[in-house]
């Protein structure tokens, strides 16, 4: 039997049972489209979280000071409050192989007043020029903190877009003077918006030279954190380990119990995507159940068809159809049903996920893998659920099949 003949037989079989074939296909369409839509919602969520975390800087390691207890009786300020990270730790970290940039940071929170009278309370970070590379920030207008600003303890400031909007509304802040903690600072730049990364909004910060922060605004030559940018992703675990040893040696303490901690961005991304992956699997599993129900629908229809066409099968066998011819014919019918259902389901799933994005704002992401997977699954379902009815048809005894009423 030739392939085009099999297809022709299949089409005739579908057309002679339009309603039943249509409803069976609908079962598969619902299954496939819900798998596609659910997976796209899950992947969209995980993609969004991942990109917003990676937006904070790529291949990033963050060194934070550890727990400090000056002695019993003193009130501890908790983890991260210790003053153990110093400016010269940066030089130590730069020695470690694989480190691209090191950005020392000193953070504080101050009241800021603009010349037009509005004021805000925001995070002020003392930074070196490396901050821009390490934290992946870019300037929309003006320039970032430069090396000479740092060397000259310059009273200059770069505003995050949220702060700029709060202080100046729609005016251009570059060149204007603002007051931080009652001291005058000249605005030299405004950053590009980055979007919030959960609890921390990088747009709601302003930047001053590190030296200015340490000597004028806050006092004390310690750092609140050091950000390290690693050359490649593969080097991150190695650099994390070596940086721990180098810093511990510098601080003259045991690397097993350091007075600082180094957190890799990969850990944060990993923890976040683990949550969304679980979420995706849960959604896909629920959708997968409807796909199985659709498959059972196919099997049900095929079994009905085989019973209904018993005499026809008997006739076909008596005029020379072999077992293989009969089983291929019925298997093709089942696979074609799922194939149609799969194709329509993918399109429908795509439309559903676009509608979800459009009306709820939830990010969705259709991946090629999801489509290939859905297609493969629908084909496999057709074969699995079509195999038993096809075998039953092929195994019919022609004499009994011809007598069947």
Contact between 396 and another protein per CB under 8 A:
no
* Binding-site size, another protein (CB under 8 A): 23
Residue 173 CA to residue 163 CA, distance in Å, equals 10
Residue 154 CA to residue 127 CA, distance in Å, equals 12
Residue 43 CA to residue 362 CA, distance in Å, equals 11
SS3 158: strand
Element (H, E) at 302: helix 265-308
Q: Quote the least distance from Cβ 329 to another protein, whole Å.
A: 10
SS3 53: helix
Nearer to another protein, 250 or 323 (CB): 323
Is residue 26 within 8 Å of residue 340, measured between CB atoms? no
Q: Quote the least distance from Cβ 337 to another protein, whole Å.
A: 18
Q: Quote the least distance from Cβ 307 to another protein, whole Å.
A: 15
Nearer to another protein, 388 or 404 (CB): 404
Nearer to another protein, 86 or 316 (CB): 316
Strands (E) in 114-170, as ranges, are 119-127, 139-142, 156-159
- Binding test (CB under 8 A) with another protein, winner from 289, 351, 355, 399: 399
SS3 330: helix
Cα angle 44, 48, 49 (rounded to 5 degrees) comes to 120
Query: What does 274-290 look like in DSSP terms, one character per residue?
Result: HHHHHHHHHHHHHHHHH
DSSP letter for 197, please. Answer: B
Site for another protein in 89-118 (CB under 8 A): none
Q: Quote the least distance from Cβ 324 to another protein, whole Å.
A: 8
Nearer to another protein, 215 or 323 (CB): 323
Q: Quote the least distance from Cβ 322 to another protein, whole Å.
A: 5
Write the binding mask 15 to 54 for another protein: x where contact by CB under 8 A, - elsewhere.
Answer: -x--------------------------------------
Q: Quote the least distance from Cβ 312 to another protein, whole Å.
A: 6
Nearer to another protein, 170 or 405 (CB): 405
Cross-strand bridge partners of residue 225? 105
Provide the 10 A C-beta neighbour count for residue 251: 18
Q: Quote the least distance from Cβ 355 to another protein, whole Å.
A: 40
Compute CA distances 262 → 58, 197, 201, 246, whole Å.
Answer: 15, 20, 21, 12
Contact between 398 and another protein per CB under 8 A:
yes
For residue 108, the number of C-alpha atoms closer than 13 Å in the C-beta half-sphere is: 22
Which range of residues in 4-12, 75-83, 87-95, 151-159 is near another protein by CB under 8 A? 4-12
Q: Quote the least distance from Cβ 11 to another protein, whole Å.
A: 12
Site for another protein in 284-343 (CB under 8 A): 311-312, 314-325
Nearer to another protein, 242 or 325 (CB): 325
Site residues, another protein (CB under 8 A): 1-2, 4-5, 12, 16, 311-312, 314-325, 398-399, 402
């Amino acid at each position: 039997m030739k392939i085009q003949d099999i297809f022709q037989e299949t089409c005739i079989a579908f057309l002679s049972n339009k309603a039943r074939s249509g409803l069976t296909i609908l079962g598969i369409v619902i299954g496939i489209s819900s798998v596609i839509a659910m997976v796209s919602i899950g992947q969209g969520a995980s993609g969004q979280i991942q990109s917003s975390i990676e937006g904070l800087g790529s291949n990033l390691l963050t060194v934070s000071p550890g727990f400090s207890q000056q002695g019993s009786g003193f009130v501890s300020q908790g983890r991260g409050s210790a003053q153990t990270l110093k400016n010269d730790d940066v030089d130590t970290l730069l020695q470690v192989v694989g480190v691209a940039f090191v950005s020392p940071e000193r953070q504080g929170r101050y009241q800021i007043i603009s010349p037009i009278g509005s004021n805000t309370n925001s995070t002020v970070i003392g930074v070196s020029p490396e901050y821009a590379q390490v934290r992946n920030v870019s300037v929309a207008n003006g320039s970032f903190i430069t090396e000479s600003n740092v060397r000259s303890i310059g009273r200059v400031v770069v505003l995050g877009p949220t702060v700029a909007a709060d202080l100046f509304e729609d005016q251009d802040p570059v060149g204007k003077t603002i007051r931080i903690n009652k001291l005058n600072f000249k605005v030299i730049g405004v950053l590009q918006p980055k979007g919030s990364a959960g609890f921390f909004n990088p747009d709601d910060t302003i930047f001053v030279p590190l030296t200015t922060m340490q000597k004028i605004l806050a006092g004390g030559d310690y750092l609140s954190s050091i950000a390290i940018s690693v050359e490649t992703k593969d080097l991150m675990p190695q650099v994390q380990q070596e940086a721990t040893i180098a810093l511990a040696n510098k601080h003259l303490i045991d690397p097993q119990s350091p007075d600082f901690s180094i957190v890799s961005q990969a850990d944060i991304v990993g923890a976040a995507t683990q949550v969304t992956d679980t979420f995706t699997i849960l959604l896909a599993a629920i959708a997968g159940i409807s796909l199985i129900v659709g498959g059972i629908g196919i099997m049900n229809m095929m079994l009905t068809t085989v019973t209904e066409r018993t005499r026809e099968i008997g006739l076909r066998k008596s005029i020379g159809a072999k077992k293989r011819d009969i089983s291929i014919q019925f298997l093709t019918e089942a696979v074609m049903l799922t194939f149609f259902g799969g194709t329509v389901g993918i399109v429908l799933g795509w439309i559903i996920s676009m509608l979800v994005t459009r009306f709820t704002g939830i990010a969705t992401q259709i991946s090629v893998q999801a489509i290939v997977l859905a297609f493969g699954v629908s084909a496999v379902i057709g074969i699995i659920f079509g195999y038993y009815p096809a075998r039953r048809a092929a195994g019919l005894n022609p004499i009994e099949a011809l007598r069947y009423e």
